[in-house]
Structure formats: C-alpha cells, structure tokens
Amino acid sequence: MEFKQGDQIAYIPDHCMGPGDVEYGFVTGEAGKQGSYFCRYWRKGEAGQLRTTANSESTRSENLVHFESVSQEEIEKYLIDLGYKKED
C-alpha cells in the first residue's frame, strides 16, 4: 500500500493481539528504505496528542492501513508546526 505525507494511519504490529496493540497517527514522509514511511503517533487513547515531540518513527508499509482518527485540518496544522510542510 502506498502512503503520502499527511495520510492518517493505523499501525498494526506483527504481534497484534487486539485493538489495544494498534497505534494511530499520520505519515510525515517516505523513509530511506523502500516500502517504509516516517510516521508520528498519538499517545494511546489521546488522538491529537503526540506520543513523541522530537521525531518521526520509520514504519514498514505492510503494517500500515489508512485510518482517520482526527480532522485532516489538525494533521495539516501539525505538519506546518513541526516543520514538515510550509504554510500555504
């Protein structure tokens, strides 16, 4: 599956045993490895609150699915505020 910057995602780890193992967030860009993307994730149970404030995490595309957890406007604001995208 292909993703682009700003796509909202759910990360389903290989060891997933249920909904508690799924993490939600958004794509910030392509990672250096083909089929991997840099993603930012929300704190568990707190969509809209970043788990880490300093960096994205490389994630394999086979563990990602498209999933909207917050408004797309909120994602666009994060991309600008975090320096991934310039304001239009």
DSSP 77: H
In a domain, 17, yes or no: yes
Paired strand residues for 25: 9, 41
| Residue 3 counted as domain residue | no
21 domain-assigned: yes
Query: What is the pTM for the complete model shown?
Result: 0.91
Q: Is residue 87 part of a domain?
A: no
According to DSSP, residue 33 is labeled S
Which position has the higher pLDDT, 75 or 87? 75
Residue 2 lies in a domain: no
71 vs 52, more confident: 71
User: Is residue 86 included in any domain, yes or no?
Assistant: no
**Residue-averaged pLDDT of the chain:** 92
75: buried, middle or exposed (CB in 10 Å: 19+, 13-18, 0-12)? buried
Q: Which domain holds residue 63?
A: 8-81
Residue 12 tokens read as 């389903």
Q: Residue 48 domain-assigned?
A: yes
